[in-house]
């Protein structure tokens, strides 16, 4: 299964460490938002207005206490469907 085939509510994993690039309101640029391998839930699927062919996925990742954090916009290359084992 590919990221593009997922539906709202599906579980995804951070494919790499996701860092605030300065685009999050009231965020801190450079702050780690999700470590590689962190589990999250897909909450919204949209696209970039200037690039309608490019999908953006809103994901709420779990923290260390398994609480869902604030939604984070992710590109397809930021996500994976299956967790990597042995990391």
Give the dihedral sign, CA 78/69/42/36: positive
CB 70 within 8 A of CB 60: yes
Reading the block at residue 81, the tokens are: 């469907």
pLDDT digits (tens, 9 = 90+) for 40-86: 999 999 988 888 888 999 999 999 999 999 999 999 999 999 887 65
Alpha carbon 32 to its chain centroid, in Å, reads 12
CATH topology of domain 3-80: SH3 type barrels. (2.30.30)
Of 12 and 4, more confident: 12
- Nearest Cα neighbor of 42 from 17, 13, 76, 8 is 8
> Where in the chain are the domains?
3-80
């Amino acid at each position: 299964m590919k990221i593009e085939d997922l539906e709202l509510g599906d579980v995804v994993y951070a494919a790499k460490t996701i860092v605030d690039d300065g685009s999050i309101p009231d965020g801190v640029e450079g702050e780690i938002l999700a470590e590689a391998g962190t589990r999250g839930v897909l909450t919204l699927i949209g696209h970039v207005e200037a690039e309608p062919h490019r999908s953006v996925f809103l994901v709420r990742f779990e923290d260390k206490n398994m609480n869902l954090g604030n939604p984070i916009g992710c590109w397809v290359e930021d996500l994976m469907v299956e967790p990597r084992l042995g990391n």
